[in-house]
Structure 1
Amino acid sequence: MKIFKRMLLLVAVFITIVVVYNYPKLNIIAGYSAKNAASSVFVANRSLAFTDTTDNNFSPINLASDQVQMPKKAVISSVFGLLSRTSFYREGTGSVVALKEEDIHKSYLAPKRGVPDNDTPFPYGNAAQKDTVFTNVDYEQLENALDVLFDPENKTRAAVVVYKNQIIAERYAAGFDQESKILGWSMTKSIVGTLFGVLEHQNKMNVFDKAPFNDWQNDERSQITIHNLLQMNSGLEWNEDYNTISDVSKMLFLERDMTKSQIKKPLVGAPNESWYYSSGTTNLLSGILRKQFQTHQEYLDFWYADLIDKIGMNSMLVETDLAGNYVGSSYAWATARDWSKLGLLYLHNGHWKGKQLFTKEWVKYATTPTPTSDGQYGGQIWLNAGKTYPNVPKNMYFFSGYQGQNVYILPDKDLVVVRMGLTKNADVDLLLSEIIKNIK
């Protein structure tokens, strides 16, 4: 009996050690599952069953089990019953993971939204486009080109090809259509960058000014400019690893105010000489945007009134953190058609329906390669300047997000291509080169 009791004690001690050691990981797993499920259900109007079998079905996130509380608009995610996290939905600002019980019961500001234009044809409104048949487009071969994306292994959910402001090809996976909101993940970063271009055009911002953080004024970080941050070239320490407990995973699932996560970090390289992709940097930029306004309501409204709703991206919702700041690194939802509108705005050098939102010079700035990025990155925008895609024009640039969310802008071809999915398996070089080949 004594031996049996000792064995039970040893097992209990072992289990305790395992749980304590893995507790931080379980915290992140449950947080991710709860957040993703709540946004999928309450922002994108999908079922929990669909979400758990598609979006949350990969390791280790599939260790969590999710439960929806419809009246509270919340999702509770639990990992083996050892730890649970709750994510809850707020009208106008989406879902967020609670850190304390009282977070769920607080009131939160929401942005004022513009009235959708459902009478003007796409792309300037949401009505059906006035179809034009282009004699230089091989529509049949174009459809064949999309087959590259919709191979089952690629898990593509939506594809839209826009040529000269006209949708010339469009396809959706089962369960999705042109009204489906899809998370853009890091394509949200390009929205943040664009807002700096909007403010610069309004003479309210100079991106070459020093970053406005008091914490940096008395050390070498005082030399960091907004420009360095836009180019991900500040030299600040950061770990962008989604497979471990890292800076980015802690920021997204454990921080109340995500705009402050990288402010605390030291320099590990010289500004303008140390390119490193960092979601913390983009949320820091969201914090800089907040500093441009006297009230939080003005900050919330600006994103929509001066950009998102102004170009008719009416389906878009950008989620905020618990402090009410937009999570500019990761959390914008919109239809594939609305994502294409942001690409078209760049294709048209910031001009939209007779108004200039940002300048042609801003487009040049945002698509100029960052030093030490090997031609891959500009101002919160990815580039093909280093010929990552050898059969695609060098001046192609694109917005890019986790699991293969992409908007490709090809200025020489008057072309915007959107792909939304769950993997990066698709052969982008083949896809884009085939589309180009079938537009003579």
Structure 2
Amino acid sequence: MKKAFQIFGVLVVIVLVYVVSVNYPKLELISGFSAKSVASAHFIDHRPLDLIEKSDNDIKLITLANNTIIEDENYATSSVFGLQKRKAIYREGLGSLLIDDDFDVSKPYLVPHRIQPKINFPYPLGTNEPKDSVFSNINYTQLKKAVDSAFDKENAFAKRTRSVLILHKNHLIIEKYADGFDKNSKILGWSMTKSLTATYFGILQHQGKLNINNPAPISEWKNDERSKITMHNLIQMNSGLAWEERYDKICDATKMLFNSRDMGKVQLEKPLAGKPNQTWNYSSGTSNLLSKILRQQFKTHQEYLDFWYTSLIDKIGMYSMIVETDMTGNYVGSSYAWATTRDWGKLGLLYLNNGNWLGEQIFDKSWSKYVSTPTPTSEGRYGGHFWLNSSGKYPDAPRDLYYASGFQGQKIFIIPSKDLVIVRMGLTDDENFDFNGFLKEVLGSFEK
């Protein structure tokens, strides 16, 4: 019997050693995700740690992390079983930053200069509270039922919607928030940030400062086949560059977001795996490379930091929005923009109005058509850093619908034919939330 216990003990140790050795590389990514998530949610949106752990960090494996917030020093730390401890610091104006051991926290840093005048119009075009608006073509009882159905009923935990907001003909017609969230709550857009990033190329092109059809200005590519890649190819995710984007394993995307100092450099260094304009491949690395290219358009880093706000974010009154940076100080154009649901709605409305905001053309009116035109080889699913419904992903919604989309079901649906913007923020995506059914119910409340 004693020998049997000894053998069993050895087997247990072997299994534990195997499990740890296989999963040890993941621990740094787990603790990195967790530390960044905790620091951002707490210091940007003032969420308590217990809420963050039960909601934002309620993800397989991420729940293994042990988290601590150091309030008076503005940082959070996370580790897994005491291993692979990571730290994320909060800096006013820049949000939170996941750092490595070599990062100099005492080094001075630049922050964007923001000008936020009162825009004396009701929301959504201005900064005043919205006015009550009644449209004769809307069945408001049916609309309320459709919006209510997007939220969990009491004690349920399936749909996990945090907010829904609907704009019609430049008016707010309905909004709803889950318990613990309201019109002032800042929510991470995740990959909706990609659509924001692409918008700056439309702005610069409208200003005559670049042409997206020109080759990407990357000196490292000038002597190989990558020199044929244009900014247009990058915006359409059709560059042919190698990239792996998965979140259930260690891959290019996870290593970039949680291990890289210069996130734009990761995609830059990848070889071709296909041909430009012939090989669509969704890539967060591409979006951060585009952010890096945007940096090259300005003489100083301060100008780059300011441009994101002065040309767009603060220009249209998205005053709650904050875009976080990587360790080089470049904006993480793939993933890290935070804003209230109302301000995310403004981004959708800008596109619905073809770039016009209170009479000023932010980008050329043709840019909305450009981003909503299918990318070659994407099977009609993707445009210019926006997802499309042209192939009928949502069969009960109009085919002209296009949308910004982020991890866990952050969505800005833009429907030109219905003059509608629909925003849904939450913690469940298409696998667990019936977006088609939701859109069908909402659209069914509008008379044809």
Alpha-carbon displacement from aligned partner over 1:204-224 (angstroms, at most 9, x marks no partner)? 010000011111111111111
1:395 maps to a residue whose letter is D
C-alpha displacement of 1:132: 1.9
| Cα distance in 1, alignment partners of residues 58 and 105 from structure 2 | 26
| Cα distance in 2, alignment partners of residues 185 and 10 from structure 1 | 43
Alpha-carbon displacement from aligned partner over 1:106-127 (angstroms, at most 9, x marks no partner)? 3221101122426431112221
Q: Is the 8 A contact 1:90 1:108 kept in 2?
A: no
2:394 maps to a residue whose letter is Y
C-alpha displacement of 1:7: 10
| Cα distance in 1, alignment partners of residues 161 and 60 from structure 2 | 20
2:416 equivalent in structure 1: 411
C-alpha displacement of 1:23: 2.4
Q: Could you say if the C-alpha distance between residues 10 and 135 of structure 1 is closer, same or farther in structure 2, counting changes exceeding 3 Å?
A: closer
Of residues 212, 215, 218 in structure 1, which corresponds to 2:223?
Answer: 218
The residue matched to 2:93 in structure 1 has which SS?
coil
- 102-111 vs 171-180, which deviates more? 102-111
Of residues 412, 421, 439 in structure 2, which corresponds to 1:432?
Answer: 439
Q: Could you say if the C-alpha distance between residues 106 and 22 of structure 1 is closer, same or farther in structure 2, counting changes exceeding 3 Å?
A: farther
1:361 equivalent in structure 2: 366
Alignment TM-score, normalising by the size of structure 1: 0.96
The residue matched to 1:299 in structure 2 has which SS?
helix
| Cα distance in 2, alignment partners of residues 26 and 305 from structure 1 | 39
1:238 equivalent in structure 2: 243
| Cα distance in 2, alignment partners of residues 97 and 21 from structure 1 | 24
1:154 maps to a residue whose letter is K
Whether 1:160 aligns to 2:165 is yes
Alpha-carbon displacement from aligned partner over 1:274-314 (angstroms, at most 9, x marks no partner)? 11100000000000100000000000000000001001100
Alpha-carbon displacement from aligned partner over 1:355-377 (angstroms, at most 9, x marks no partner)? 00011111111111000111111
Q: Is the 8 A contact 1:316 1:334 kept in 2?
A: yes
| Cα distance in 1, alignment partners of residues 193 and 395 from structure 2 | 26
Alignment TM-score, normalising by the size of structure 2: 0.94
The residue matched to 2:57 in structure 1 has which SS?
coil
2:123 equivalent in structure 1: 122
Q: Could you say if the C-alpha distance between residues 413 and 105 of structure 1 is closer, same or farther in structure 2, counting changes exceeding 3 Å?
A: same
Whether 1:112 aligns to 2:119 is no
| Cα distance in 2, alignment partners of residues 40 and 51 from structure 1 | 7
| Cα distance in 2, alignment partners of residues 268 and 87 from structure 1 | 34
| Cα distance in 2, alignment partners of residues 9 and 438 from structure 1 | 65
| Cα distance in 1, alignment partners of residues 350 and 406 from structure 2 | 19
- 105-114 vs 29-38, which deviates more? 105-114
2:298 equivalent in structure 1: 293
| Cα distance in 2, alignment partners of residues 316 and 231 from structure 1 | 25
C-alpha displacement of 1:147: 2.6
1:398 maps to a residue whose letter is Y
C-alpha displacement of 1:191: 0.4
Of residues 307, 315, 318 in structure 1, which corresponds to 2:312?
Answer: 307
Superposition map of 1:65-144 within 5 A: 65-100=66-101, 102-117=103-118, 119-144=120-145
Superposition map of 1:361-400 within 5 A: 361-400=366-405
Q: Could you say if the C-alpha distance between residues 12 and 127 of structure 1 is closer, same or farther in structure 2, counting changes exceeding 3 Å?
A: same
Alpha-carbon displacement from aligned partner over 1:309-359 (angstroms, at most 9, x marks no partner)? 001100000000111000010000000110000111001110001200011
The unaligned stretches of length 5 or more in structure 2 are: none
Of residues 189, 192, 197 in structure 1, which corresponds to 2:197?
Answer: 192
| Cα distance in 2, alignment partners of residues 369 and 127 from structure 1 | 37
2:29 maps to a residue whose letter is I
2:106 maps to a residue whose letter is H
| Cα distance in 1, alignment partners of residues 440 and 124 from structure 2 | 24
2:340 equivalent in structure 1: 335
| Cα distance in 2, alignment partners of residues 385 and 14 from structure 1 | 50
| Cα distance in 1, alignment partners of residues 393 and 20 from structure 2 | 43
| Cα distance in 2, alignment partners of residues 337 and 157 from structure 1 | 13
| Cα distance in 1, alignment partners of residues 52 and 444 from structure 2 | 37
Q: Is the 8 A contact 1:38 1:75 kept in 2?
A: yes
The residue matched to 1:142 in structure 2 has which SS?
helix
1:256 equivalent in structure 2: 261
Alpha-carbon displacement from aligned partner over 1:42-97 (angstroms, at most 9, x marks no partner)? 01111111101111122100000100001111111010012211111111111111
Q: Could you say if the C-alpha distance between residues 79 and 256 of structure 1 is closer, same or farther in structure 2, counting changes exceeding 3 Å?
A: same
Q: Is the 8 A contact 1:237 1:267 kept in 2?
A: yes
1:107 maps to a residue whose letter is P
Q: Is the 8 A contact 1:148 1:426 kept in 2?
A: no
Q: Is the 8 A contact 1:110 1:297 kept in 2?
A: yes
| Cα distance in 2, alignment partners of residues 5 and 298 from structure 1 | 67
1:278 equivalent in structure 2: 283
RMSD: 2.0
| Cα distance in 2, alignment partners of residues 9 and 375 from structure 1 | 55
Percent of residue pairs bearing the same amino acid type: 54
| Cα distance in 2, alignment partners of residues 212 and 53 from structure 1 | 44
2:71 maps to a residue whose letter is M
C-alpha displacement of 1:9: 9.2
C-alpha displacement of 1:246: 0.4
The residue matched to 1:266 in structure 2 has which SS?
coil
Aligned length: 440
Whether 1:267 aligns to 2:268 is no
The residue matched to 2:104 in structure 1 has which SS?
helix
Q: Could you say if the C-alpha distance between residues 430 and 116 of structure 1 is closer, same or farther in structure 2, counting changes exceeding 3 Å?
A: farther
